[in-house]
Amino acid sequence: MTISIWRYSHLALAVSSFVFIFLASVTGIVLAFQPISEQIQPYKSDGFDTVSLAETLSVFNKAYPEVTTLEIDTNDFVSASVISENDKNLNGYFNPITAEFLGKKIESSKVFQFATTLHRSLFLKGVGRFFMGLCSFLLFLIAVSGAVLILKRQRSIKKFFAKIVNDNFAQYWHVVLGRLSLIPIIIITVTGVYLSLLKFNLLPESNMSQSINYEAITERPKQDIAAFAVFKNIKLTDVKSVEFPFSSDVADFYTIYLKDKKIVVNQFTGEVLSEINYPLVTLLSTLSLNLHTGKGSIIWSLVLAFASINILFFIYSGFAMTLKRQKAKLRNKLKKHKCEYIVLVGSENGSTIPFANAFYKQLLKAGKTAYITELNKYQTFKKAKHIIVFTATYGEGEPPTNANTFLQQLKNTEQLQPLSFSVVGFGSYAYPDFCQFALDVDRGFTAQHAHQFLPPFKINDRSLEAFNQWVSSFNTASGLALHIPQKKLVAPPKRTKALQVVRKTEVKTNPDNTFIVTLKPAKNLRFNSGDLLAVYPENDYRERLYSIGKVAGNIQLSVKHYANGFGSNYLNSLQQNTVFKARVINNAAFHFPEKATRVLLIANGTGIAPFVGMLHENTSKIDTHLYYGLREQESLIVYKYDLDVVLKNKQLHQIHLAFSRVGNTKYVQNLLQNDAVFVAETLQNNGVIMLCGSLAMQKGVLETLNAICETQNQKPLRYYQEKKQLKMDCY
């Protein structure tokens, strides 16, 4: 079954039952505190866990002329109904070792009584009970379909509890809390259904009739109850209740209800007259009741309260997500076969849609005929000349649901006019396959011999800045002057954390105008070398990203100062001890490998920053070589201390430098070419190459690496790239 069918089922079940589920959860939270309020009462006696039934019955018989019943509840409180020496009727809790009266039975409070009736039957008796039973069953189905959705999202059972990325508050917590409360919710719902079936007599009848041979009952040999072997062998902890003989007639006896069976015992001789194991239905009923109500366990009651609170949160977050998806509906003004521009959208959770919609509206405003639809609705558009795709990526580089058949459809669909296309990917650096589906779409169009109007463009984390950058390229290429209103797309910086400047080097002292900023997170902050730091110089949507090196628990950035640099001027203006807010972006695809036969780090300029951190973190001393391109020897001064440390500690094996401004101009690719055999061997033996620095350097290095691979290993670089042996973060 596809993910959308599971999602619709999950949603439909939730919509159809949410009022009942809401009431059941609210009352469930209240009722979870009933067992807790009972358990904290002082009626559990010391020694309860070790006393035998013989001892308890013996002291009761001695203390009171008449005892009718004795019960042990789930809180291990012993209650009884007795008549005392002075003919007083005593009903309440007793000490099972001394038979002392401890207090009257706990009356359920009005709040709990009200909540119980509402929870069980909505004050509607049988009809209400039926609906609440049904609601339990529907909640069970919701939990199962939710679990399937998590499985589909995580791609395997093994990864069910794997870390997930916090992309959106409602969605993140819906999944995280859903996983945590799945088992309790399944238990609550299954037991709820069971108790309803029991109430409506829909479970098989249990036959508990006993057969006693009354003729054979004798009063001899008479024994004191304290000496009854059967009672001596029963611990009070195993007893649920005791019915005392009605009179001293030999045909009246003790009936003992244990946890798993009922026994009947001769009141004079202690002989067991009958013994019947409870049927499964009875055992399951007790278990269901205890599990459903939390009776007898404070911890389980708290788990039930937690699960019930979560259900309320699921109602809120589920509807918040649905609303967001609904808001993101695509609406058209023109008929599809009349439009030259077709905007196609791939989106799972709707956040790509406002971008696509804004672009589509601007096309209309610019007087173009435009049509917007989902990628899966791709077909022959009679007048189409330009296709613009905006798509997210999911799973492991896979399409969102509304784009999952697109690549196939693309192959099978012919357009009537020559087509130009542009693809914009929305994704997140937090995933190794950053915007992979957008790249696949771009390749798909190329394979159809369509004209690539703009190269594929990848946007991290819905960056408005990056989007504007793409729109501006589109304007330049098309001659249009689209201007996207920022209002609906602008979001204030999210999830920022306070960072304190602990050190900043001077720009003046460095020939490359580069400075290093060391930042200390105010609170515990999880990050790795290779992650990115988003800085917000004006505290608005505009962000600047810097690659992070983690050194001694601090964030270390290497920044090139530009006279008009938005980000670099801001960072350079920060004084020591200043605290400011920025956001760490997990860049999973660019972390130092945990295991590798060898690692080659290739950088130029400020691209060394993450590598300095990674080398410090290379505690397992993986054979690591650094190829670094810089202007002149002095450019190295700011990194010298750190590099000396890692060289000395064998966390860095060798460093190869290429100076571009002194002597024979050299670039890192020249160094690689010199070590061609070594580089080829590294890839051949499953080593990893990491690249960080300028895009110009990336281009040169990739060409060289490809040539080395082709000549030395007879394989293209792409082969190793697909095996994830090449990691890049260039800008």
Ligand X SMILES: Cc1cc2nc3c(=O)[nH]c(=O)nc-3n(C[C@H](O)[C@H](O)[C@H](O)COP(=O)(O)O)c2cc1C
- Footprint of ligand X (CB under 6 A): 153, 167, 347-352, 392-397, 400, 426-428, 431, 433-436, 462
Among residues 138 and 459, whose Cβ is nearest to ligand X?
Answer: 459
Among residues 391 and 514, whose Cβ is nearest to ligand X?
Answer: 391
- Residue 390 C-beta: closest distance to ligand X, Å: 9
- Residue 172 C-beta: closest distance to ligand X, Å: 8
H/E stretch holding 142: helix 125-154
Among residues 271 and 440, whose Cβ is nearest to ligand X?
Answer: 440
Among residues 159 and 650, whose Cβ is nearest to ligand X?
Answer: 159
- Residue 460 C-beta: closest distance to ligand X, Å: 8
b (16+ CB within 10 A) / e for 582-593 = bbbbbbbbbbbb
H/E stretch holding 266: strand 261-266
* Burial status of residue 607 (CB atoms within 10 A of its CB: 0-12, 13-18, 19 or more): buried
- Residue 155 C-beta: closest distance to ligand X, Å: 9
Tell me the two tokens of residue 286. Answer: 């007790």
- Residue 437 C-beta: closest distance to ligand X, Å: 8
DSSP-assigned letters across all residues of 376-404: GG----TT--EEEEEEE-BTTTBPPGGGT
Among residues 348 and 374, whose Cβ is nearest to ligand X?
Answer: 348
Among residues 153 and 361, whose Cβ is nearest to ligand X?
Answer: 153
Round to whole Å and give the CA distance between 730 and 256: 78
- Residue 356 C-beta: closest distance to ligand X, Å: 9
The answer to whether the CB of 642 falls within 8 A of the CB of 648 is no
Among residues 120 and 583, whose Cβ is nearest to ligand X?
Answer: 583
DSSP secondary structure code for residue 245 in this structure: P
Separation in Å, CA 508 to CA 97, 306, 319, 571, 572 = 87, 58, 55, 15, 11
Among residues 128 and 397, whose Cβ is nearest to ligand X?
Answer: 397
């207090």: which residue's tokens?
103
Among residues 95 and 428, whose Cβ is nearest to ligand X?
Answer: 428
Helix/strand/coil (H/E/C) assignment for every residue in 278-342: CCHHHHHHHHHHHHHHCCCCHHHHHHHHHHHHHHHHHHHHHHHHHHHHHHCCCCCCCCHHHCCEE
The answer to whether the CB of 192 falls within 8 A of the CB of 133 is yes
- Residue 334 C-beta: closest distance to ligand X, Å: 24
- Closest by CA to 340, choosing from 385, 308, 290, is 385
Write the Ramachandran bin of 193: left for phi over 0, alpha for psi from -120 to 50, otherwise beta: alpha
- Residue 377 C-beta: closest distance to ligand X, Å: 16
- Residue 373 C-beta: closest distance to ligand X, Å: 15
- Residue 52 C-beta: closest distance to ligand X, Å: 58
- Residue 539 C-beta: closest distance to ligand X, Å: 23
Q: What share of the chain is helix, strand, coil (3-state, %, to 5)?
A: 45, 20, 35
**Phi first, then psi: what are they for 42, rounded to 5°?**
-90, 40
Round to whole Å and give the CA distance between 672 and 30: 69
Report the DSSP pairing between strands 420-427 and 386-392: parallel
- Residue 352 C-beta: closest distance to ligand X, Å: 3
**Phi first, then psi: what are they for 536, rounded to 5°?**
-115, 90
Among residues 228 and 390, whose Cβ is nearest to ligand X?
Answer: 390
- Closest by CA to 27, choosing from 115, 90, 113, 91, is 115
- CB count within 10 Å of CB 48 equals 19
Among residues 119 and 591, whose Cβ is nearest to ligand X?
Answer: 591
Among residues 167 and 675, whose Cβ is nearest to ligand X?
Answer: 167
Among residues 181 and 436, whose Cβ is nearest to ligand X?
Answer: 436
Among residues 301 and 428, whose Cβ is nearest to ligand X?
Answer: 428
The answer to whether the CB of 359 falls within 8 A of the CB of 471 is yes
DSSP secondary structure code for residue 151 in this structure: H
- Residue 190 C-beta: closest distance to ligand X, Å: 29
**Facing residues of 693 across strands?**
730
Among residues 433 and 642, whose Cβ is nearest to ligand X?
Answer: 433
- Residue 433 C-beta: closest distance to ligand X, Å: 4
* Burial status of residue 173 (CB atoms within 10 A of its CB: 0-12, 13-18, 19 or more): middle
Round to whole Å and give the CA distance between 649 and 641: 13
Round to whole Å and give the CA distance between 520 and 321: 35
Among residues 375 and 708, whose Cβ is nearest to ligand X?
Answer: 375
- Residue 350 C-beta: closest distance to ligand X, Å: 5
- Residue 481 C-beta: closest distance to ligand X, Å: 27
**Phi first, then psi: what are they for 667, rounded to 5°?**
-120, 165
Q: What residue is closest to ligand X based on CB?
A: 427
